[in-house]
A and B are shown apart, each in its own frame.
Chain A
């Protein structure tokens, strides 16, 4: 129930921010659309299901900044490869997915796709299959750099080496 309340608050804020027109009729439509979305989410049973408290804390902005730096770095690398396509050596990489929550697994897969040079091909319960453009690109995954960062985001303890 708590999650449904927060969802409603977010939806109302979002609607007020995007709309910009505050006349009675339009406001009524806004209330109707918020209620519709709330009902749909409850019917889909996604409210609270995918709730992982740590993911929505202060760690998220830090993770985004880190991801931004990674995106810039891998973009520069792929841009260099674009001008010498004979240098690429595409490969399939398989890594473990050591996370508890499904949200963290999805974040892992999406971040992998979001950094150019690696694309998630398949994500199962305990492993991830990715296509990487070359050795340097695949190292983000094989060295576990990304996995450690997502573990930190999830709030899990670091795995022993």
Chain B
């Protein structure tokens, strides 16, 4: 009984992860400019990875394999925002213009500023 419940949960997580991966991919194609595409990439980097890794972890229970899966998830979740930020920052310095809503403040006034070491 319990085994069935775990299996069902695992299948649900795996398939959800797959679906969100495809949705993120579609976002990567459909969003109109570079900065909004970053959000599409973010979907595949976060929920897709989390769901798939937890789905797989449920399959192997408490073991060395699960520990390594969790380490993979930890590395992914630590490196993904860093890489995304590096990309966004580079594009911003390189004067890639975002498509913005009319009411929004513009990006140009921040361009001259530098990321200080905090």
Chain A contact residues, CB within 8 Å of chain B = 17-18, 20, 68, 71-72, 75, 78-79, 81-83, 85, 88-92, 94, 102, 105-106, 109-111, 113-117, 119-125, 129, 131, 133, 137
**Given A71-B47, A113-B42, A122-B115, are A90 and B84 neighbors across the interface (CB < 8 Å)?**
no
Q: Is B35 an interface residue (CB 8 A)?
A: yes
Q: 12 other contacts beyond A90-B100, A92-B98, A109-B85, with CB at 8 A cut-off? A: A79-B20, A79-B23, A85-B31, A90-B35, A90-B36, A119-B39, A120-B88, A121-B89, A121-B92, A124-B115, A124-B118, A125-B116
Chain A CB count within 10 A is highest, among B23, B39, B42, B98, for B39
Q: Is B64 an interface residue (CB 8 A)?
A: yes
Shortest Cβ distance from A111 into B: residue: B81
**Is A68 touching B80 in the complex (CB atoms < 8 A)?**
no
Cβ < 8 Å to A, chain B residues 86-114? 88-89, 92, 98-101, 103-107, 110, 113-114
Shortest Cβ distance from B41 into A: residue: A116
Number of A-B contacts (CB under 8 A): 133
Contact with A along B40-82 (1 / 0, CB 8 A): 1011001100100000000000001001100100000110111
Contacts of A131 in B (CB 8 A): 35, 38, 88, 98
Contacts of B82 in A (CB 8 A): 110
**Is A79 touching B43 in the complex (CB atoms < 8 A)?**
yes
**Is A72 touching B85 in the complex (CB atoms < 8 A)?**
no
Q: B110 contacts which of A91, A120, A122 (Cβ < 8 Å)? A: A122
> What's the least CB distance linking A63 to chain B, in Å?
13
Q: B105 contacts which of A94, A109, A121 (Cβ < 8 Å)? A: A94
Shortest Cβ distance from A14 into B: residue: B71
Q: A117 contacts which of B30, B39, B101 (Cβ < 8 Å)? A: B39
Contacts of A117 in B (CB 8 A): 39, 42
> What's the least CB distance linking B112 to chain A, in Å?
11
> What's the least CB distance linking A45 to chain B, in Å?
13
Q: B71 contacts which of A18, A68, A129 (Cβ < 8 Å)? A: A18
**Is A119 touching B84 in the complex (CB atoms < 8 A)?**
yes
**Given A75-B20, A123-B118, are A82 and B103 neighbors across the interface (CB < 8 Å)?**
no
**Given A75-B47, A78-B42, A92-B106, are A124 and B35 neighbors across the interface (CB < 8 Å)?**
no
